[in-house]
Structure 1
Amino acid sequence: MYLPEKEHQRVKFLVAGPLGVGKTTLVERLSQIPTLHTDEVMTDAAASTDDLSLVGLRNKTKTTVAIDFGRLTLPGDRIVLYLYGTPGQRRFLPLWEGIAFGALGALVLADTRRLDESFEVMDLIEERGLPYAVAVNIFPDSPNYPLELLRSKLDLAPETPLVTCDARDKRSSLEALIQLTTHSISSAGAETS
């Protein structure tokens, strides 16, 4: 699928979160083009830095080492979203900073089985002044908590959108992206007033 021929606006969003939270899956579900993945097989060399004994990571065999990239043209062909999935490990921080350049916002994926791992990513995003939304990705064995309890545990500002989603489901993932887009637009409006 080619870019629209008429004049259009390109918008860059990050899809961020810790290792194994579903970033690659979400970008893949939302993209209208074949996605670019930089997944590599996890080796013994990473064993000292990636704790695969954590819940949700025991069967993980690959990891993103640079980016995932997908593209989504919104109805009307006037806005094209570029979705950049970021690596989830600290050792890729120099790449993350380059990927974040020019982004208008970030969708942070979180896992209720490992909420504490989301703080580092949210800190990185806040340090860059990017608006963000948090989407709690639902896994089959994830505990189900009320959104207000999750908001409190994640220490989110009242204006930060918090939703649940299933990264494997396009409609659910799209709803999370809509929350981010709406928040980014309202944040930009607040900055200009």
Structure 2
Amino acid sequence: MNRATSVVILIVLAGLGMGTTYLVHHTSAPRIAAEQRLIDSRNLLDLLPPGSYDNQPLEQPLSLPSTRLANSTLLGGYLATKAGQPSAVLLRSQTLGYAGSIDVLIAIDVNGKLLGVKTLKQSETPGLGGKLADWPNTWLQVFTGKSLSEPGDNGWALKKDQGQFDQIAGATITSRAVINTLHDALRYFDEHRQPLTGSNPP
């Protein structure tokens, strides 16, 4: 076998190898992307009670414009359903904490009660306000089951502000910002319940 033939064979083999690699990547990319979406969905939606929905909420975004509320900005939302009926609304909100913006995902059931809260992004002080990113989060779990009327407008504040909630130790500004954001979200839900869920207050 002369040198020219060897070079041609090497080029053909390299081309076949590259073609096979491209084909494998091209055919597996959609499956990998779908699996990643499922993982992302589970990570975001683990604040919803198991069995409370049977759709893919992140694939059912609500038509919500970015809206400035009293203490936060509503960035968007999603609808969770079960057997075709609304079961929860997820609102993504942003507020300003001590060190920067804080993004949270807030789950509210159709009766206006908080199902859960999860921090999506924050840059608070590690060991203080940064504890907000922990999951599960003991401080955030305190708000589960609360609503606009329970504890009422005056109750939606820190105890040091004559409200009903403790703060994250050493993180007054962070705690106050999150409480105000949750209160904003509950007010927004109460005022827009029908367009959000397609149902009226019980």
The structure whose RCO (Cα within 8 Å, separation 6+) is larger is 1
TM-score normalised by length of structure 1: 0.28
Larger radius of gyration: 2
Q: TM-score, normalised by structure 2?
A: 0.27
More helix by share: 2
